Structure 1
Amino acid sequence: MVLRAGEVVAGFVIEGVLGAGGMGAVYVARHPRLERRVALKVLHDSLAGDRRARAAFEREAALAARLEHPNIVTVYDRSGPEDPMLWLSMRHIPGGDVGVLLNAAPSGLPAEVAVAVIADAAAALDYAHSQDVLHRDVKPANLLIEPDPRHGQRALLTDFGIARTLDDTVTLAEVAATLAYAAPERFTRRPVDHRADIYSLGCTLYHLLTGTVPFRGGGAVEVIAAHLNDPPPNLRLSRSDLPTAMDAVIATALAKDPADRYPSCLAFAEAARSARITPPRFPTPKRPAPAIAPVAPAPTRVHENAFPAQVSRQSEPPHSPRPITRRRLLIGGALCTVAAGTAITLLRDTDHADPDVSAPTAPVADVLAHDDAVFSVAFSPDGRTLATGGLDKMVRLWDVGTHQRIGNMAGHTDLVNSVVFSPDGRTLATGGFDSTVRLWDVQTQRQTGELSADTGAVHSVVFSPDGRILATGGAHTAVRLWDVGTHQKIADLRGHISPVNSMAFSPGGRTLATGSQAAMFRLWDVGNFEVIADLPGNGVAVYSVAFSSDGRTLASGDGYKSVRLWDTGSRQKIGDLSGNGGAVRSVAFSPDGRTLAAGSEDASIRLWDIAGLRHIDVLSGHNSVVWSVAFSPDGRILATGSTDSTVRLWKLPGTA
């Protein structure tokens, strides 16, 4: 029986029906004592006296009530043992579910909207999995859209009604999930774990992009058979505007074998975001740069187990697709391997140079070849050593003078997102997609500690200037502070509602700047763990933040192809450095604070004069996204890492 407006349940006054299903209905209702509306889920009368149904509902309520995450609908209260009706009160989300968006775009949502919804759902699911809870019914109807005056909108996951804890080994006693989104293992006796939710999230993304589910049939038997046997249909048959890389992303998420899927929901979401990147188009130089004969570096020794990325991919069986996380980005799916030990002369990108800037001598880049994409580079404090990390899961050390590889540190089980030296140069901290931060002794190249991020990828790690504190950020959304000496967690800085992409300590160590996927750019007081200020973003993800050496200027790079500069004293914006050809993935100040380098998704690195807020030069040579930039301590060299499997060392103009 559906309740009518004005009826009272457990003191809640019913105002309307939000939705109904086989086990009950959800209403918008007014709280009996507080002046606020709630979503009230009420089971049908026939189930209230059923011991099994009551036990299932109480399990749902207990699971849902313990989940606290910005992308999960909050549970306020539930029925007690003596209540004649079974009910659950939750936060009311007035925007409706994702179906509202699909109704306005029946042929599929814009890719950026669909991927943003999936990223929010992924953050919620990875958090739930960290609490040993599966959702088991991920679908568009269980993703609610909440208007957000600052960021437009966000998605929240609801209805853990058929959730089971991860240690529940029951598989197919009965399949209660919506068949269109259910993983193949749900229809067999195979164990079911968090990867079933990844599969359902993949079906959901397909639906959001095309307006229809991936597997259709005349009945339940046909749909189940398709989940078990059929490959997902080609996205581009429905959406020719989507990049081909998105098909590979969907194929990985919907792999029949759970072992072939992404390791986490956020890894899948990052792969979907990355697949939207368009291959850069490089301008043809109007005239060749002056010929300069660089001194060839000593040959780089290739590790005995290192193979070119193309070769390793060809050797993989066709039925076992590799995940396309931040990792396999993307640009047509092919990464370029550059021969070790080569050096090249680059042409200056005259199409982008400001006409009032005199052309400097074309910088020379020495190339360090990697086995796969490079996501982070960092100089040691003395400038003699360069650390790099990337898709091959290895942390590599290089001699900057000879360009020889002097170390390979293995331990991460997934790609390495961030590398950073301690101020004394003795310790290297690395963060990866395997949800860990690892500490290494640089001299012995042995791991000395491991810090768990609890859930999700680690995107950024940074030492305080005195080396006593390590800050970590990533998919968990909380920024964590660790005591480097004891390896104990000091505090969680909470407030971000999406993955933390980048962090930077001020030179004095009192302030920590953090940038997140949800356009939030925040300053924290490290002493009392409180927010100092929120700086307005461009409404897009903040990918990188950096302080100048004097601490007076703060830079942020974002998805709007710009770098914003802020006065840290007044916290006012002092300039926009626009003109980048793609989203700015990494920013770094030169040691003297006069120059800023910005690495972009268009494969270029732009140099800016901070005093005049003017463009100096474009460094071209990478052929894929530049994920990381770093100046050497003396400011003479700029190191850049890219998904083209190379690190380039640029000898900057005006340096000896």
Structure 2
Amino acid sequence: MLYSPGETIGGYTIIRRVGQGGMGVVFEARSEDGTRVALKIPHPQLLEDPGTRARYDRELEVSRSLIHPNIQRVVSTGLDEKRDLPFLALEWVEGGLLRDFLRSGLPLSVDESISFGAQLCEALNYCHDLGIVHRDIKPDNILVTKAGKIQLMDFGASLLESAPKITTASLAAALGTPDYMSPEQVEGQRGDVRSDVYSLGAMMFELLTGQPPYHGDNALAVMAQHVQSSPASIRKKNRQVGTPLEEVVFKAMRRDPELRYQSMMELHRDLTNLGSVDASRLGAERARVSSSTNNGASDTTIWSRSVPAWAMVVVVAIAAIAVGTLLIAR
């Protein structure tokens, strides 16, 4: 291990390692005044890759500008001069990852799911107002305090409209995470606020059913389904979910961005006022889109434009080629 308990980095003393991912390691540490922080340090070898370095720099750039009760706050940034490694010190959150709530494969309660979804709507709406699209909404990037407060984190894949749009085209970094990525991201587009709406809808599906909306033998198979298929009924998997909530999640997940909620506050409005949701109208809209795109065929490809088989081959091929490629667009 590169760092050991007791070592001091930029005024922070490491207490213990609390997590490790593809991008780096996270330690619990204390500042000189005793404040606990989460110290995030990237893997040295990854910083040699221009795309990975761009992602890390993007996270620093974006995270420092965000001050919201549902976003993990950056305390400071710095450099370990001894090893020439940058670090990010974040506020310590007493709790755990939302992913930990789902490891059993069982759904969360309906009330808890709605609460988490509504809090994320507020955090993401704040980001969107600043011109920031997260693009990697997933349970692994969300902390939950013991009081049930959501803390969104990891802005390494975000798109900042006021800056050059640098995208590392790797499955977990730029395109998003296969279980939750929007169809337009699968197709190679950068996405916009509605891409975050889709990803939150896909995550809400998992909170309410215990399983992500799509399954496949590999990441590319899951990605293809976001473009071509439609998720199963939520109510058939969880009878505690009412029709209005199911239709709200389905609207967030419509494949055509124009047919989704156009903002997080639109989604927030319906999530927090389910008694006012016209579920029959939403269901009829969904059926109408299904009918117009499939001409009465199976409803396995609904809510958006029809996608021919040859197009799906192209989409999956592009996604496969994109892995590990750096795309820089201004």
Scaled to the shorter chain, the TM-score interval is 0.7 to 0.9
Instruction: State how far apart, in whole Å, the 2-side matches of 1:90 and 1:316 are.
Output: 42
Instruction: State how far apart, in whole Å, the 2-side matches of 1:160 and 1:232 are.
Output: 27
- Aligned counterparts, 1:275-354, within 5 A: 275=274, 277=275, 318-319=288-289
Shift of residue 86, structure 1, vs aligned partner:
1.9
> Secondary structure of 1:96's match?
strand
Is 1:25 equivalent to 2:25 in the alignment?
Answer: yes
> Secondary structure of 2:289's match?
coil
- Give the unaligned 5+ runs of structure 1: 280-309, 322-656
Partner of 1:44: 43
Is 1:165 equivalent to 2:160 in the alignment?
Answer: yes
Equivalenced residue count is 285
Listed one character per residue, the Cα deviations across residues 133-170 of structure 1 (whole Å, up to 9, x for unaligned) are: 111111112111123xxxx4311101112112136567
Contact 2:110 2:240 in 1 (8 A): no
Taking a change above 3 Å as real, the CA distance of residues 313 and 89 of structure 1, as seen in their structure-2 partners, is closer
Greater strand content: 1
Residue type of the partner of 1:164?
Answer: L
Shift of residue 264, structure 1, vs aligned partner:
1.5
Instruction: State how far apart, in whole Å, the 1-side matches of 2:51 and 2:223 are.
Output: 27
Shift of residue 25, structure 1, vs aligned partner:
1.2
Instruction: State how far apart, in whole Å, the 2-side matches of 1:24 and 1:138 are.
Output: 19
Shift of residue 102, structure 1, vs aligned partner:
3.0
Shift of residue 27, structure 1, vs aligned partner:
1.2
Shift of residue 4, structure 1, vs aligned partner:
3.0
Is 1:235 equivalent to 2:234 in the alignment?
Answer: yes
Shift of residue 312, structure 1, vs aligned partner:
11
Contact 1:171 1:188 in 2 (8 A): no
- Aligned counterparts, 1:117-136, within 5 A: 117-136=116-135
Listed one character per residue, the Cα deviations across residues 614-656 of structure 1 (whole Å, up to 9, x for unaligned) are: xxxxxxxxxxxxxxxxxxxxxxxxxxxxxxxxxxxxxxxxxxx
User: What is the percent sequence identity of the aligned residues?
Assistant: 31
Contact 1:171 1:189 in 2 (8 A): no
Greater helix content: 2
- Aligned counterparts, 1:552-567, within 5 A: none
Taking a change above 3 Å as real, the CA distance of residues 171 and 232 of structure 1, as seen in their structure-2 partners, is farther
Contact 1:109 1:208 in 2 (8 A): yes
Partner of 2:216: 217
Shift of residue 262, structure 1, vs aligned partner:
0.5
Is 1:114 equivalent to 2:113 in the alignment?
Answer: yes
Taking a change above 3 Å as real, the CA distance of residues 129 and 314 of structure 1, as seen in their structure-2 partners, is closer
Instruction: State how far apart, in whole Å, the 1-side matches of 2:170 and 2:196 are.
Output: 17
Instruction: State how far apart, in whole Å, the 1-side matches of 2:6 and 2:218 are.
Output: 40
> Secondary structure of 2:248's match?
helix
Instruction: State how far apart, in whole Å, the 1-side matches of 2:74 and 2:197 are.
Output: 24
Partner of 1:146: 145
- Aligned counterparts, 1:441-590, within 5 A: none
TM-score in terms of structure 1 length: 0.40
For structure 1, which segment, 43-52 or 109-118, has the greater mean C-alpha deviation from structure 2 after superposition?
43-52
Listed one character per residue, the Cα deviations across residues 404-443 of structure 1 (whole Å, up to 9, x for unaligned) are: xxxxxxxxxxxxxxxxxxxxxxxxxxxxxxxxxxxxxxxx
Shift of residue 43, structure 1, vs aligned partner:
0.3
Is 1:183 equivalent to 2:182 in the alignment?
Answer: yes
Contact 1:2 1:25 in 2 (8 A): no
Taking a change above 3 Å as real, the CA distance of residues 155 and 126 of structure 1, as seen in their structure-2 partners, is same
Listed one character per residue, the Cα deviations across residues 291-345 of structure 1 (whole Å, up to 9, x for unaligned) are: xxxxxxxxxxxxxxxxxxx999968971289xxxxxxxxxxxxxxxxxxxxxxxx
Partner of 1:73: 72
Instruction: State how far apart, in whole Å, the 2-side matches of 1:266 and 1:80 are.
Output: 38
- Give the unaligned 5+ runs of structure 2: 292-330
Instruction: State how far apart, in whole Å, the 1-side matches of 2:285 and 2:264 are.
Output: 27
For structure 1, which segment, 51-60 or 37-46, has the greater mean C-alpha deviation from structure 2 after superposition?
51-60
Listed one character per residue, the Cα deviations across residues 268-288 of structure 1 (whole Å, up to 9, x for unaligned) are: 23323333x499xxxxxxxxx
Instruction: State how far apart, in whole Å, the 1-side matches of 2:188 and 2:112 are.
Output: 36
The structure with the larger Rg is 1
Contact 2:6 2:13 in 1 (8 A): yes
Instruction: State how far apart, in whole Å, the 1-side matches of 2:287 and 2:233 are.
Output: 20
Residue type of the partner of 2:289?
Answer: H
Residue type of the partner of 2:91?
Answer: R
Partner of 1:563: none
